[in-house]
């Protein structure tokens, strides 16, 4: 049987088909680099939006628990202490648990573990998440008070008074007068903070959106 040897023309065609020129390779690398430059920021944005939505969901659950407590207690808000003092019986992070389906109100145990999941902002590092009964990534408004006494909302427009805001200090479970209440907000989602009002509606504030005046009705003075 006669052997067939490739002709010079065939070898040339194979080289043309299987090879890449330097220009073609550089063009492919440029396209890949462009796609990476587009995809990475887009992925980060999508992740941040998802965290913002999860955070808003946590706040809605907390807000619903607070409203159910009010309905069951003659309109009184859950009690609150400032960043020091108080006990499990007079701090809102514990007393609203039954209205969120968490019946264990002990300072430590399953109830605290379950409640801390809802009290955690997903955009913050684990080291900033609450793991004790008085800690939270969401601070209640000044209308709740600071001394453990229960209060009611009277003669106020509930659509303008803050119920809950994000913070980035788990021990700061409420807004305070010191340094202005606006200084306690945490803009945890790329410069945006979820804010919930006493009528149940939510807003998303940047630092520029946040009122810097103590007389603004949002602070509930």
221 residues of the chain, pLDDT tens digit each? 555 555 555 545 555 555 567 787 777 778 887 777 766 665 556 566 677 789 999 999 999 999 999 999 999 999 988 766 678 888 899 999 999 999 999 988 999 999 999 999 998 888 999 999 999 999 999 889 888 888 888 888 999 999 999 998 888 888 887 778 888 888 988 889 999 999 999 999 999 999 998 889 999 86
Question: How much is the pLDDT for 178?
Answer: 76
Note the helical H segments in 73-189: 92-95, 110-118
Question: How much is the pLDDT for 3?
Answer: 53
What the block records as the tokens of 29 is 């690398």
165/47 Cα distance (integer angstroms):
21
Please tell me the pTM assigned to this model.
0.77
Note the helical H segments in the chain: 8-18, 22-72, 92-95, 110-118
Question: How much is the pLDDT for 33?
Answer: 78
Task: Enumerate the domain spans of the chain.
Answer: 23-219
Question: How much is the pLDDT for 46?
Answer: 59
Question: How much is the pLDDT for 86?
Answer: 76
Question: How much is the pLDDT for 215?
Answer: 87
Phi, psi of 13 (to 5 degrees): -65, -40
140/148 Cα distance (integer angstroms):
13
Q: How far is CA 172 from CA 31, 46, 52, 74, 97, in A?
A: 48, 29, 20, 27, 19
Looking up tokens 């969401």 gives 138
Beta-sheet pairing, 193-197 with 202-205: antiparallel
Question: How much is the pLDDT for 34?
Answer: 76
Radius of gyration of the chain (CA): 28
206/59 Cα distance (integer angstroms):
17
């Amino acid at each position: 049987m006669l052997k067939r040897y490739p002709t010079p023309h065939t070898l040339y065609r194979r080289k043309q088909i299987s090879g890449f020129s330097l220009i073609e390779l550089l063009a492919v690398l440029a396209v890949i680099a462009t796609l990476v430059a587009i995809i990475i920021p887009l992925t980060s944005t999508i992740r941040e939006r998802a965290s913002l939505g999860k955070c808003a969901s946590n706040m809605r659950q907390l807000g619903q628990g607070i409203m159910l407590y009010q309905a069951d207690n003659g309109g009184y808000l859950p009690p609150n202490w400032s960043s020091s003092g108080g006990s499990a019986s007079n701090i809102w992070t514990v007393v609203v648990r039954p209205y969120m389906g968490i019946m264990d109100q002990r300072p430590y145990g399953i109830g605290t573990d379950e409640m801390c999941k809802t009290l955690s902002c997903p955009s913050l590092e684990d080291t900033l998440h609450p793991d004790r009964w008085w800690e939270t990534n969401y601070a209640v408004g000044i209308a709740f008070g600071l001394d453990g006494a229960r209060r009611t909302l009277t003669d106020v427009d509930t659509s303008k008074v803050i119920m809950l805001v994000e913070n980035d200090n788990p021990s700061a479970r409420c807004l305070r007068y010191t340094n202005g209440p606006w200084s306690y907000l945490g803009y945890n989602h790329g410069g945006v903070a979820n804010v919930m009002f006493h009528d149940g509606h939510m807003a998303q504030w940047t630092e520029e959106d946040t009122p810097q005046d103590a007389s603004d009705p949002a602070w509930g003075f």
